[in-house]
A and B are shown apart, each in its own frame.
Chain A
Amino acid sequence: MASAERAAGATATDHAGRSLRTVQLVSFTVGNEEYGVDIMAVREIRAWSETTPLPNTPEVVRGVINMRGAIVPIFDLRARFGMPRTEPTKYNVVIIVSVASRIVGILVDAVSDIITINEDEIRPMPNMEQVSGLGFMEGLITVGERMVGLIGLERMFSSRMLEAADSAGNKPMLAGPSESTGAAA
């Protein structure tokens, strides 16, 4: 076994090699790719429902929905990856997560699995990630023959979600190559 690497939400590293903390992930697909988020952050998973668009916000922001009286913004993960916006159908899924005391939804294609792994199975992102603007990726996991990208929610949703708010322009916030949130990765 390789030595332990930094893992989602965990700082403890153990070189004894046996009884490491296990992490549970909810994995989902966007196109042909598979990603996962820490299950502890997931509040609920719901079917896509039409959102109310927010004016003058970037592509990734799909708008807001009413979740039992709370206004929850929905982000399009596909657009976040620099691809065209998702064309949602009733089979698309929104994963509601809590990040830094806020509740947000992530629009993905489908939820695929719940993965239980040891912390030390998380591989660091290869160095290229900083160039490609994927600073929110926390690591990679191999499940069988599949590769699952571990998404760091805190990094993806920095406290100021919409830097464009003040200028009312279309400055890219979560999307685009000028990603800067990964500086610390």
Chain B
Amino acid sequence: MDDLAQFKQTFFAECEELLGDLEGHLMALQSGEGDNNTLNAVFRAIHSIKGGAGAFGFDRLVAFAHIFETVLDLMRDGRLEPTPDSVLLVLHCADILSDLVKAAQNGTELPADHENEGRKSLIDLAATVGVNADPHAADDELAALDAQLAAGGPDALMEAAAAPEPAAAPEPAAPAKAPMLKFLVKFTPRDALYQRANEPLILIRELKELGSFLAKADAEGVPPLDQIQPEGAYIKWEFEIETDKGEQAIRDVFEFVIDDCELEVTCLNPPAAAAEAPAQPAADAAAPKPEAVTPAAPKPATPAPAAAKADPHAAGDGATAKPAAAAKPEGGAGGETKAVRSIRVDLDRVDKLVNMVGELVITHAMIAQQTEHLHADQHPELANGLAELSHHIRDLQESVMAMRAQPVKSVFARLPRLVRELAMMTNKKIRLDMSGENTEIDKTVIEQLGDPLTHMIRNSCDHGIENPDDRVAVGKPPEGVIHVSADQRGGRIVIEITDDGRGINREKVMRKAIEKKLVAPDATLSNEEIDNLIFLPGFSTADTVSNISGRGVGMDVVRQNIQSLGGRVHIQSRPGQGSSFILTLPLTLAVLDGMVLKVGIQSYILPLANIVESLRPEPDQINIVANQSELLRIRGEYVPLVYLHRIFKVPGGIDDPTKALVIIVELEDSSKMGLVVDEIIGQQQVVIKSLEENFDPIRGVGAATILGNGRVSLILDVAGIKHIAENESQQRPSPQARLAAPALQASA
């Protein structure tokens, strides 16, 4: 039973990937960039899902996938033209399929009519070219198909899939008339076959289905009992089969084990050479007629794709060119997915490896520190060895990290559907553009990115983009555009969600914030501060609570989620022109390059990514404002000074900035701060250890690490430090304290 559960898990993991790919291919189709390869890839994805689903007995999923597949098959054969209408239908059905997969995965039942509409449309569509795609017409065949599936896995299906639609293809109809042929099959499994948990018995049973059958086992190779390897392959088989299904059908049975066995199929009474041709799987027939696939003259009645082409100015200059460029290689890749060689590895194992490498980094630092006092010329080998080791560890670490990294595509893939559904629910026209899907981030980050992204997209669709009429009224194209991009900048990943909607209504936000007592009534806030008020808990300006957003849980949760990943989120808004959510995330959660600082009796790590520069200021560079806030003037810019020893209450810190060191740090909202510390000890790569595992979060401290001497050192969180600094200066009576406390968080 456990095995089955594990296989199911693998199946659903695969489904998720397949559905993700599917979405990408369908988008390409919709935008008119799909070609035959794309259609093939779509077909393959559905087919694989159906195959797996059949093996686990998800009948409903199989039934729907089957009809879906039939229609796609017609499309790639060129008999059904992928018009914008039919592509929309296919998109819609892909959503249904994904619902069905979800339901199967969670063991929930969808309402009985969930797929009916899509199903009917598909059948109707197939009917337009005279194909009956309804499997109920051929229930028996379907049952037979299931049985075969259960025994043989998805590929037995190739043949069977064609069967329920005899009218569909003239070619598959041919095998019925094929002559009975007699084959001799020699099957010699290798050890690997058993190691991969294949069972010859199942293969043999499947062979037996093909026709009259005689099996001979050759047990000559079996060694004496004491020499038997439990996973060894010792028995060979010879089968004589008389079948009308052709040689290919026999080979198909062995398809999954072909690399792990020797297989010889000889025909004992070869007929006229042509007899085998019809038995080729239908997939091969897909290649011809590429011209039918390119959307021939899209009807003007179809909204989305037509509009996408009609108003290139809506998306700006680059935006229209980009998706085209992005889609091209993807379409190409669809055809050759099999070229990528990969294995599935349990994430736990990778994590273990990551941890071990982390320990290795620490141990190396420890050894290096111990040997520091030895003279390099007395122990040249030792010094060289350590340098080598350091290199290797870094390489190892990067390789391990790369194993955990995944393209953000996997999260982005669910967005098109979300936008489609939201557009439908709100009666708006919204197009989604995406770029940088191949940017890679740590898997943990990816996993936790889904919810916040969904929230932000919802927010953009619901609050950002206006109704088509309103848009036209202000001179915008009726279709709104949401652009989601991912990009690597420095040591961080930046994800931007930009809409061209109405932007934030600052007056309304301010009113609401005062109403909800989130901001003092007499406070004057900068535009950016007002915009970022929407991240406060309990804030929502939607006048009516909609199904989509507006319950006031959302943006603050988004911010919490992102912060717990070590990231930041803020918003930029231009009234009337739209808003951008900007999200910055760490590349990895495991290691960072840091600067070791000394403050009083303590040392801390400051992430290198935050540091702009460090300097020891001259007295005339220090200016005092309002008798208390110190500003450092640097190249015409004023940067507030923050004393780390005061913030953290560390005894013995240097109080005079001209004798200490000022490190200029930059925060994610690109504000700057001068952190006053005693001295910089050095740069070091550190392994991030969670404080929260055994303790609670501490403001100003992002995480901890272990230094070469075995001591724990804290990794600073500059945004948190800024928050403490602002809060403390606010507690002092000051005319500058103008915000209510929570509002300050918003700008952090």
Assembly CA distance A135 to B695 (angstroms): 21
Q: Across the interface, do B699 and A54 meet the contact criterion of CB distance under 8 Å?
A: no
Q: Across the interface, do A162 and B648 meet the contact criterion of CB distance under 8 Å?
A: no
Segment of B109-117, B160-168, B336-344, B711-719 in the binding face: B711-719
Residues in A whose Cβ lies below 8 Å from that of B381: none
Against A, the Cβ 8 Å flags (1 = close, 0 = not) of B704-740 are 1010001111100000000110010000000000000
Chain B nearest CB, measured from A141 CB (Å): 29
Assembly CA distance A27 to B727 (angstroms): 44
Q: Across the interface, do A70 and B693 meet the contact criterion of CB distance under 8 Å?
A: yes
B602 within 8 A of A: yes
Quick one: which of B602, B699, B706 contacts A66, CB cutoff 8 A?
B706
Q: Across the interface, do B691 and A64 meet the contact criterion of CB distance under 8 Å?
A: yes
Supposing A71-B712, A161-B695, A165-B697 touch, asked if A55 and B689 sit within 8 A by C-beta, the answer is: no
A52 within 8 A of B: yes
Q: Across the interface, do A103 and B694 meet the contact criterion of CB distance under 8 Å?
A: yes
B701 within 8 A of A: yes
A117 within 8 A of B: no
B696 within 8 A of A: yes
Assembly CA distance A106 to B316 (angstroms): 62
Residues in B whose Cβ lies below 8 Å from that of A185: none
Supposing A56-B648, A65-B712, A162-B695 touch, asked if A71 and B690 sit within 8 A by C-beta, the answer is: yes
B647 within 8 A of A: yes
Q: Across the interface, do B699 and A50 meet the contact criterion of CB distance under 8 Å?
A: no
Against B, the Cβ 8 Å flags (1 = close, 0 = not) of A48-74 are 001111111100000111100111110
Chain A nearest CB, measured from B501 CB (Å): 34
Name B696's closest neighbour in chain A (CB-CB). A162
A160 within 8 A of B: yes
Residues in A whose Cβ lies below 8 Å from that of B714: 52, 54-55
Chain A nearest CB, measured from B577 CB (Å): 36
Against A, the Cβ 8 Å flags (1 = close, 0 = not) of B670-695 are 00000000000000000001110111
Residues in A whose Cβ lies below 8 Å from that of B648: 55-56
Quick one: which of B691, B723, B724 contacts A71, CB cutoff 8 A?
B691
Q: Across the interface, do A56 and B724 meet the contact criterion of CB distance under 8 Å?
A: yes
Residues in A whose Cβ lies below 8 Å from that of B711: 50, 52, 66
Quick one: which of B647, B649, B694, B699 contacts A73, CB cutoff 8 A?
B694
Supposing A64-B704, A69-B359 touch, asked if A55 and B694 sit within 8 A by C-beta, the answer is: no
Q: Across the interface, do B712 and A64 meet the contact criterion of CB distance under 8 Å?
A: yes
Q: Across the interface, do B701 and A54 meet the contact criterion of CB distance under 8 Å?
A: yes
Q: Across the interface, do B696 and A161 meet the contact criterion of CB distance under 8 Å?
A: yes
Residues in A whose Cβ lies below 8 Å from that of B690: 71
Residues in A whose Cβ lies below 8 Å from that of B712: 51-52, 63-66, 71
Q: Which of B695, B701, B710 has the most CB of A within 10 A?
A: B695
Chain B nearest CB, measured from A68 CB (Å): 9
Against B, the Cβ 8 Å flags (1 = close, 0 = not) of A96-121 are 00000011100000000000000000
Within 8 A of A (CB), among B590-648: 602, 647-648
B424 within 8 A of A: no
Residues in A whose Cβ lies below 8 Å from that of B691: 54, 64, 71
Assembly CA distance A52 to B704 (angstroms): 10
Assembly CA distance A20 to B649 (angstroms): 52
Name B741's closest neighbour in chain A (CB-CB). A167
Q: Across the interface, do A70 and B694 meet the contact criterion of CB distance under 8 Å?
A: yes
Q: Across the interface, do A56 and B694 meet the contact criterion of CB distance under 8 Å?
A: no
Assembly CA distance A53 to B602 (angstroms): 8
Residues in B whose Cβ lies below 8 Å from that of A65: 712
Assembly CA distance A168 to B355 (angstroms): 31
Residues in A whose Cβ lies below 8 Å from that of B698: 54-57, 162, 165
B503 within 8 A of A: no
Name B714's closest neighbour in chain A (CB-CB). A52
Chain B nearest CB, measured from A3 CB (Å): 38
A166 within 8 A of B: yes
Residues in A whose Cβ lies below 8 Å from that of B689: 69-71
B127 within 8 A of A: no
Chain A nearest CB, measured from B604 CB (Å): 9
Count chain B residues whose beta carbon lies closer than 8 angstroms to a beta carbon of A. 31
B118 within 8 A of A: no
Residues in B whose Cβ lies below 8 Å from that of A104: 694-695
Quick one: which of B355, B650, B695, B723 contacts A55, CB cutoff 8 A?
B650
Supposing A52-B714, A69-B689, A73-B694 touch, asked if A168 and B701 sit within 8 A by C-beta, the answer is: no
Assembly CA distance A184 to B642 (angstroms): 44
B24 within 8 A of A: no
Against A, the Cβ 8 Å flags (1 = close, 0 = not) of B139-167 are 00000000000000000000000000000
Residues in A whose Cβ lies below 8 Å from that of B649: 55-56
Residues in A whose Cβ lies below 8 Å from that of B727: 168
Against B, the Cβ 8 Å flags (1 = close, 0 = not) of A160-177 are 111001101000000000
Residues in B whose Cβ lies below 8 Å from that of A168: 699-700, 723-724, 727
Assembly CA distance A53 to B724 (angstroms): 18
Assembly CA distance A161 to B155 (angstroms): 56
Assembly CA distance A64 to B693 (angstroms): 12
Q: Across the interface, do A102 and B359 meet the contact criterion of CB distance under 8 Å?
A: no
Chain B nearest CB, measured from A160 CB (Å): 6
Supposing A50-B711, A69-B706 touch, asked if A56 and B700 sit within 8 A by C-beta, the answer is: yes
Residues in B whose Cβ lies below 8 Å from that of A162: 695-698
Against A, the Cβ 8 Å flags (1 = close, 0 = not) of B230-256 are 000000000000000000000000000
Q: Across the interface, do A55 and B706 meet the contact criterion of CB distance under 8 Å?
A: no
Q: Across the interface, do A66 and B695 meet the contact criterion of CB distance under 8 Å?
A: no
Q: Across the interface, do A72 and B694 meet the contact criterion of CB distance under 8 Å?
A: yes
Chain B nearest CB, measured from A92 CB (Å): 18
Assembly CA distance A161 to B693 (angstroms): 12
Name A104's closest neighbour in chain B (CB-CB). B694
Name A105's closest neighbour in chain B (CB-CB). B694
Residues in B whose Cβ lies below 8 Å from that of A50: 711
Assembly CA distance A52 to B709 (angstroms): 12
Name B727's closest neighbour in chain A (CB-CB). A168
Name B601's closest neighbour in chain A (CB-CB). A53
Name B697's closest neighbour in chain A (CB-CB). A165
Residues in B whose Cβ lies below 8 Å from that of A71: 689-691, 693-695, 704, 706, 712
Name A99's closest neighbour in chain B (CB-CB). B694
Assembly CA distance A71 to B712 (angstroms): 7
Residues in B whose Cβ lies below 8 Å from that of A63: 712
Name A64's closest neighbour in chain B (CB-CB). B712
Assembly CA distance A135 to B691 (angstroms): 27
Name B720's closest neighbour in chain A (CB-CB). A168
Q: Across the interface, do A55 and B700 meet the contact criterion of CB distance under 8 Å?
A: yes
Assembly CA distance A57 to B650 (angstroms): 12
Residues in A whose Cβ lies below 8 Å from that of B362: 69
Q: Which of B691, B696, B700 has the most CB of A within 10 A?
A: B696
Chain B nearest CB, measured from A104 CB (Å): 6
Residues in B whose Cβ lies below 8 Å from that of A165: 696-699
Assembly CA distance A160 to B695 (angstroms): 8
Within 8 A of B (CB), among A18-57: 50-57
Q: Across the interface, do B647 and A55 meet the contact criterion of CB distance under 8 Å?
A: yes
Assembly CA distance A55 to B725 (angstroms): 13
Assembly CA distance A45 to B511 (angstroms): 58
Within 8 A of B (CB), among A131-185: 160-162, 165-166, 168
Chain B nearest CB, measured from A161 CB (Å): 5
9 contacts across the A-B interface (CB closer than 8 A): A52-B711, A53-B650, A56-B699, A57-B698, A69-B362, A71-B706, A104-B694, A160-B696, A168-B727
Beyond the given pairs A54-B695, A55-B648, A65-B712, 19 more chain A to chain B contacts, judged by CB atoms under 8 angstroms and listed by A's residue number, are A50-B711, A52-B704, A52-B713, A54-B701, A55-B647, A55-B698, A56-B649, A64-B691, A64-B704, A66-B711, A69-B355, A69-B362, A69-B689, A71-B693, A72-B694, A73-B695, A160-B696, A162-B695, A162-B696
| Interface set of A (CB-CB < 8 Å, partner B) | 50-57, 63-66, 69-73, 102-104, 160-162, 165-166, 168
| Interface set of B (CB-CB < 8 Å, partner A) | 355, 358-359, 362, 602, 647-650, 689-691, 693-701, 704, 706, 710-714, 723-724, 727
A-B pairs, 10 with minimum CB distance: A55-B648, A162-B696, A52-B712, A168-B699, A73-B695, A102-B694, A71-B704, A165-B696, A66-B706, A64-B712
